[in-house]
Structure 1
């Protein structure tokens, strides 16, 4: 699906936008299921295994930061990942054998929906190599007003900046870090069905949603099968034990098969320890860890 020029652009810059990755009936189904899940959150009063609620959430006016693990909430999200143009892009960039680390549907509420402070995904979950990426599939039009994704090109080739504050992993870089060059940021807007891609080491973030529309982006975080997680990273898998991990790994295969020979590369690693007081989501990690906002 990708041209060689697109692959070269991604390799050089660490991000890419693909227009019309999902269209037509599949996009309509994704939108309908998302709206149904948001509507169902009216019955929820606190964060649970499906929803992260935003400030001011109520039955009358549901406000979410995120729907957790959408690929486990409805089959259409798994179908999109495994049987669509999204799948073609995945294999173009990571090869025939891939697995999913996690998914999330960030539904950033209108009128001030929470920002995601600048960070590198790699800081949360370093692996034996950095052939990992995230897809951001826009389920509605995204413009400058409703908190679009911002990236800093080329930072996937640089250092892993400190994501600590006061000796605790806070999941965000300090905006005063001299290596953080926010003036080089690129804003990724688009139409429903467009998809962004960013490398696991690329610096990125998103401002609060100041519009009157939710910003609905479906994120899949994916890895080449020979990239194995390092013990101590912020992942549920470390609590599973060997048999549980093996069963879970097979459930997470997107294309091809698991790889039992991890590829070790000389990549920069800093462990996300000690953890923040509440590390149940990036929002909680950044707030409880004392992250300094770049969007204040």
Structure 2
């Protein structure tokens, strides 16, 4: 569906002005959308997982952990596939947030993946500028990610930054000069970014961030002593079909969460870079950008 067609559909959660802003700018931030009791539930579940991570010594199927992770001082960079790890996370992904997705993708929505990223008080916690769709190309670009801050978030603890309007710009090469996947823009492309144009999505716990799969975005390093968790769920319109292996599929990958399956795929004529073959394994964007694992994403 085109933005014009989607905007003709009745809104479920967002205002018409918010929907129009998303299509114009490629992102949207909504303060305090998720009820406090829901945030509290997600925080309690997340705390349990961080506690369980103390038994881990390296990244695995559930956790992506930083090199400095220990039982005494757990440093979990990501909970992988949270929708499979706890029914509370899956309930979150199929509730209010799926209605938000339908407001921006149209009435027929597929779930793609979920992840819970953390920011720890570490100068290396910056996620560098990148675009998402090169990780998982689809036949069109009606694909987005919706994050929920589980803690108050500002510039001190890892706010997500975007380049407004970049979803209508070019897709960047996310391989290095030697052909290794890095999952980020090159130094040359980074240097060309006008940082004065960056917009930062901040807000209290329960605020949501939304960005289109083509939007150039990053998140700043944290200087706060408290970790900042961001629960991310990604969705596509039902007529956007993936054509490369899913990087890290859960049991819910491509499940219809609103509306109906599509009978026809819609093809955007703009090309998309092909990522590595993820069918052999996947770690995280943190590992890729740090050069820890050339197959990471």
TM-score by length of 2: 0.86
Tell me whether 1:99 sits opposite 2:102 in the alignment.
Answer: no
In the alignment, the residues of structure 1 paired with residue 59 and residue 206 of structure 2 have an alpha-carbon distance, to the nearest angstrom, of: 28
Unaligned runs of 5+ in 1: 238-244, 292-296
3-state SS of the aligned residue for 2:49? helix
CA positional deviation for 1:218: 0.2
1:229 to 242, 247, 266: 242
2:208 to 195, 201, 205: 195
Tell me whether 1:19 sits opposite 2:31 in the alignment.
Answer: yes
In the alignment, the residues of structure 1 paired with residue 237 and residue 277 of structure 2 have an alpha-carbon distance, to the nearest angstrom, of: 27
Match of 1:240 in 2: none
CA RMSD of aligned residues (A): 2.4
Distance 1:234 1:116, change over 3 A: farther
Unaligned runs of 5+ in 2: 1-12
In the alignment, the residues of structure 1 paired with residue 176 and residue 275 of structure 2 have an alpha-carbon distance, to the nearest angstrom, of: 11
Once the two structures are superposed, the pairs formed by residues 167-182 of structure 1 within 5 Å of their partners are 167-177=179-189, 179-182=192-195
Tell me whether 1:211 sits opposite 2:214 in the alignment.
Answer: no
Distance 1:36 1:136, change over 3 A: same
Tell me whether 1:148 sits opposite 2:195 in the alignment.
Answer: no
Distance 1:58 1:289, change over 3 A: closer
CA positional deviation for 1:249: 5.2
Residue 148 of structure 1 contacts residue 207 of structure 1 at CA under 8 Å; is this kept in 2? yes
Distance 1:59 1:273, change over 3 A: closer
Q: Deviations over 1:37-84 (max 9, x none)?
A: 111111111111110111321111111111111111111111112222
Distance 1:47 1:229, change over 3 A: same
In the alignment, the residues of structure 1 paired with residue 200 and residue 100 of structure 2 have an alpha-carbon distance, to the nearest angstrom, of: 21
3-state SS of the aligned residue for 1:164? coil
CA positional deviation for 1:3: 1.1
Tell me whether 1:71 sits opposite 2:83 in the alignment.
Answer: yes
Q: Which runs of 4+ in 1 moved over 6 A?
A: none
Residue 112 of structure 2 contacts residue 253 of structure 2 at CA under 8 Å; is this kept in 1? no
3-state SS of the aligned residue for 2:156? helix
CA positional deviation for 1:214: 0.4
